[in-house]
Structure 1
Amino acid sequence: MQEQINDFYDVLQLLKKYGFIVYFKDNNDTLEMIEQEINSLYHYNLLSKHNYLKCKMIISQRRE
């Protein structure tokens, strides 16, 4: 069953499910680390391509 990822909160909950809680004082650093963790999950096949791309899109929108 594929998880629904619709917003930034869902991305954070996905990371939390795998034990990642990311917070830095600088928002750009936080987003960079979240993106790295999402890349790692995808690299190890823990994340579907659809969810990976959705997460990347949400992070990119958050940066703007």
Structure 2
Amino acid sequence: MKTFYDVQQLLKKFGIIIYVGNRNADIELMEMEVKELYKLGLIEKEIFQRAILVLRQEKNKNELW
């Protein structure tokens, strides 16, 4: 998992599609969903960590623009 798209595809596997129209809001909601999937034991720790890292990097990129 290396890109924002990869995280979107992970969530899509669980029937979760997020598009609010605001990139930062999308990232926040995606992070919440990834945390919930991990808490429920549906994804492994390594996948959880990579997804959160990708989302935080994306958030930082957005803040620079």
- TM-score between the two structures when normalised by the length of structure 2: 0.88
* Equivalence for 2:2: 6
Report % sequence identity: 35
Query: What 5-or-longer segments of structure 2 have no aligned partner?
Result: 61-65
Kindly state the Cα deviation for residue 7 of structure 1 after the two structures are TM-superposed: 1.4
2:13 to 14, 17, 37: 17
- TM-score between the two structures when normalised by the length of structure 1: 0.89
The aligned length equals 60
Going by fraction, where is helix more abundant, 1 or 2? Answer: 2
- Cα deviation digits, residues 35-60 of structure 1 (max 9, x gap): 00000100000111001000000000
Query: What 5-or-longer segments of structure 1 have no aligned partner?
Result: none
Q: Aligned-pair RMSD on alpha carbons?
A: 0.7
Question: Stretches of 4+ moved more than 4 A in 1?
Answer: none
Q: Secondary structure at the match of 1:55?
A: helix
